[in-house]
Amino acid sequence: MLENKTLLITGGTGSFGKSFTNYILKKYKKIKKLIIFSRDELKQFEMQKTLSKNDLKKIRFFLGDIRDKDRLNTAFKNVDYIVHAAALKRVDTAEYNPLEFIKTNILGSQNIVDACLNSNVKKVVALSTDKAAAPINLYGATKLCSDKLFSAANNIKGNKNISFSLVRYGNVLGSRGSILSTFVNQSKKGFINITDERMTRFNISMKDAVEMVDWVLKKSIGGEIFVPKLNSFRVIDFAKTLCPKCKIKKIGIRPGEKIHEEMITVSDSFNTFDLGKYYAIIGSNEPKKFKFYSKFKKMKLGKSLNSLDNKMLTKKELNKIINKNLYLIKN
């Protein structure tokens, strides 16, 4: 798919961007160019030092902000595929800085859509979050708006050969600021902070997240929100498994935080198809896509995919997952 093609990753110096870059360089030896688009020059410099001379020949580091449409228009020239991973993501930070999240997550997303329609980009895959499903916080609300912008872009593309799709998943273990890295840092001081003992979350590894985006780049036709089938865990179990001797401090729910996360709402279930490893949520007003996916079984109507009513990882399973992902924290 990527032979002699150019792929651009927004937010390319983030945890996902770096992992996806390494994955692409390893799998697609004949890729023409891989563009890392991000706004932090230091992170770009540090990322360059981790790559080999041969890999660097295929990579172009492009400094810019998705808030700047003119810069995006320049960056997207002669690009074939785009993976949009750039976003502001801290839930509590969003509650106190709402306009900054709106500028990046919503207006920045529209800038990307516009720049894509002004170029020859063939396919766009944007990263969403479980917090965009039935959002109660500002971050989730901005990502829901972003999702709608990318889905709706398929309706205004005219005759252009381009499609926009989305990937929605939960916490990526080992990513910067993830529950694993947070708890590891706290455990060094002999304690772990828990907001609420009832809290549950979805779990996905960075490897699975990267492979899913690659799959969606190949298989999507446009307008879908793809959701992986994930297991859940109780946050209290995660903390006690990571550090059995640590003191658990209950600090109360942070602004905008949910007790349980949701990736497919009850309303979405009526437009959701079971693809096996993933679900695909289709817009209710898209009969052509319904026809395309009609060969797949529909999700049970009236059911939601949430982190509480889901298969819970045992402490033994959690221990295996934690040990497998600890190297990401150290690197």
At residue 145, the pLDDT reads 98
Residue-averaged pLDDT of the chain: 93
CA-wise closest residue to 43 among 7, 14, 1, 19: 14
| Residue 291 designated active-site | no
Residue 132 tokens read as 């965009």
Domain of 61, in residue numbers: 6-170+203-230+262-305
pLDDT tens-digit series, residues 73-119 = 999 999 999 999 999 999 989 999 999 999 999 999 999 999 999 99
- pTM recorded for the entire structure: 0.94
Q: Which comes out higher in pLDDT, residue 19 or 171?
A: 19
Report pLDDT for 328.
Answer: 60
Phi, psi of 278, rounded to the nearest 5 degrees: -130, 165
In a domain, 316, yes or no: no
Does the residue 250 lie in any domain?
no
Q: What is the pLDDT of residue 256?
A: 84
Is 221 part of a structural domain of the chain?
yes
Structure token pair of residue 60: 């172009």
CATH number where 38 lies: 3.40.50.720
Give the pLDDT score at 324. 82
Considering 18, 58, 89, 131, which one is annotated as catalytic? 131
Give which of 168, 202, 189 is closest to 245, Cα–Cα.
189
Split into its structural domains, the chain has a count of 1
- pLDDT given at position 30: 95
Look at residue 289 and tell me if it is in a domain.
yes
What are the tens digits of pLDDT across the range 268-291?
999 999 999 999 999 866 777 878
Domain annotation covers residue 300: yes
Alpha-carbon dihedral sign for residues 71, 137, 249, 205? negative
DSSP E strands, the chain: 6-10, 33-38, 59-63, 81-84, 123-127, 163-167, 171-173, 191-194, 200-205, 225-228, 231-234, 247-250, 262-264, 272-274, 278-281, 297-298, 305-306
